[in-house]
Structure 1
C-alpha cells in the first residue's frame, strides 16, 4: 500500500487522515509526538500517528505499520493491542509516555478510544505505589553503589553509578505524583508546564541537580537529592523500602 507525500507534513497528514476516515476498518486515529507538545515542534518535526484497527484483517492500512517518512510516522495497531500497549509488564512499556498528551483525531467507538487513552495518561493508585516501591529501591541501590565507590577511592566507577541513578530518581519523583515519567526530550517541558507540586522539583531547581550528577557524580549533590527523595517517599508511606536498607542508608546521608 502506497502513501503519497504532500508538499508539507500538514498536507500529508490531512490526505492520510481523510483516507483512513473513509475506511470502515479503522476504529480510531491518535496523534502523539512533538506535535502534541506546544512549543516543541521544529522544522524537522513529522506527525506521529497511531492508526487503530478493529482487527488486523479489517483494513489494507495494516500493511503500513511502522511506515516512516519526513512527514509522517505510523503505528498501525489492533484495538485489543492498543488497550494494553505501554502498560506495566508489557515489552512495549516504554511507549506509555507517548500517550500522555496524545490527541484523538477519530473515534468511531463512541468514546472508547478516548477512554483507553485516559487510562494510559496517569498511573493508577495501586500502579503508582508499586512503581515507587520498585524504582525507589533501585535508586537507593544505585546511589549506595556510587557513594561507596567514591568512599573507596574509585571516583570513575562512582560517577558511572551516579549517572545511572538519575533515571531511577526521575521515575520515583514522577510516580510519587502518579505521573508517567516523560522521555528526556520532554522533561523540561513537563516540569515547566506541569510542575510536580513542590518548588524543589521545579525545572529551575531539579534540572541543575540532574546535570551536576550526570556531569561528575558530585557526592554532596547526590546526598542532597537523596535527602529530598527520602523525605518525599516517607511522607507518602514508602518507609518499608527505605528501612529495609538499615544502617547502609547512613552512607547516603553523611560522608
Structure 2
C-alpha cells in the first residue's frame, strides 16, 4: 500500500496509546487499523501462524443476477493475489478485476513478513475460504488474523507503487538522434583521443628530426677527425722518414715523391 512514513508512524503511535486503553493489564493483545497492526504478548509469536479469523463484511450485497459471476471472479482475483504475495519479500499484493461491463472488484492480501512462503499461503487460503461463511455475496469485506488478512471492495481503496524497476534513461532522443547523456560522454572521449594522436604525431616527428640531425653531426665530426689525423708537422715527417732517406722512398706520385715513415708510437704511415 502506498502509505507515507509519517502516516505509518502516526498509526503506530495512536495504536500504542489505544491498545493500553482498551486492553489494560492484558498479557496478550492485538489492535489493527487500516494502515497498521500492533501486537504484544508474553510468549513468542514470531513465525507462528494465527488461523483464527475475524471479519467485518459490508452490509450491501451483489444482486442475484450478478452473484455467481461476482463470486467466481472474486475467488480468482484473491487466489492470484495470494500466489503473488507468497512469492515476494513484502508478502503483499493488490489488484482488480471486472465482474460486469461497468463494475470492478478490488482486492488486497498480505501476511506479516515473519511468515515463510509455506506459512503465508495457507493462512491466506484460510481467510479466502472463510468468505462463503461470513460474507457471502457481500460487495466488500475484511477478513484476517494477527498474521494475515484479505480485503475486497467494489471501489478502489488502495494505491499501489509500481513493483517493476524504473525504466533506464533514454539513450536516444529526437532531433540529432542522441541524448544529452550520450553527447556528454562521447565528446570528451573523442577530444581526448584527438589530442593524444596530435601529441604523438609531433613527438614522433621531433624524434626523427633529432635523429637525422645527430647522424649528420656524427658524419661531419668523423670527417673532421679523419682530416685532422692526416695533418703532421714537417719536423715530425723528417723524423719519421729519417730526413727523407732514399731507404724510405716508395716511389713517385702525382704530387711528388712518396715516403714511408715510422711515428713515435711505432705505427708506419705512407
The TM-score range, normalised by the shorter chain, is: under 0.3
* TM-score normalised by L of structure 2: 0.20
Of structures 1 and 2, the larger Rg is shown by 2
What is the TM-score normalised by the length of structure 1?
0.21
Name the structure where helix makes up a greater proportion of residues: 1
